[in-house]
Amino acid sequence: MRFYALALVASAAVLGACGGGENKATDTTKAPPAAAAAPTPAPGAAAPAAGAVAKVAPTGATVDIKMVGDDKGYRFEPANVTIKPGDAVRFTMVSGGPHNVAFDPSTVPADSKAQLDANMDQKISELSSPMMMNPNETYTISFGGVKPGVYPFHCTPHLAMGMKGTITVQ
């Protein structure tokens, strides 16, 4: 039975790769309507969409936090740090993964939520980093453009086990 299912999937993949390749000749004797011509964009970087927040690179120090899971439990070391605006925080997966860094949107100051989210690359959701699976993987979050305040964070897979901390921006 498994063989038939595998054969069916393989056949569908082959047919999908081979099908739909028909090229039709286009009539080049007709000029396109004037209204269909799109204006040429000006050279340079594209502007962000209205209301979008651009990522701000760190301008200060980088603080390191280890992500640990062992016989003592799941934790961030150190769990609580104080930084300055413009600093960055680098999280390093040490053991006990997978780990990530997530901020509960309801606990992030409203006037900094969009900037913090924009400063996080490769998110799996709003204010949530990708999962780190292997020892020595790192994830750095810039606090450039982020206003002073207290930013509680946690590891989503290990939140129930108390893996959480705070970043205080002074």
Residue 166: φ, ψ to 5°: -140, 145
The Cα 35–Cα 32 span in angstroms is 8
From the options 2.60.40.420, 3.30.930.10, 1.10.599.10, 1.10.645.10, give the CATH code of 62-169.
2.60.40.420
Q: Give residues with Cβ within 8 angstroms of 61, minimum separation 6.
A: 83, 84, 87, 88
Whether this model's pTM surpasses 0.85 = no
Which pLDDT belongs to residue 38?
45
Mean pLDDT of 121-133: 97
Which pLDDT belongs to residue 17?
46
Does residue 90 have a pLDDT over 50?
A: yes
> Do residues 162 and 142 lie in contact, with contact meaning Cβ atoms separated by under 8 Å?
no
Which pLDDT belongs to residue 52?
76
pLDDT tens digits for range 148-160: 999 999 999 999 9
The Cα 92–Cα 139 span in angstroms is 7
The Cα 121–Cα 157 span in angstroms is 19
Mean pLDDT of 86-103: 98
Q: Which tokens belong to 138?
A: 């790192």
Mean pLDDT of 125-129: 97
The Cα 162–Cα 131 span in angstroms is 17
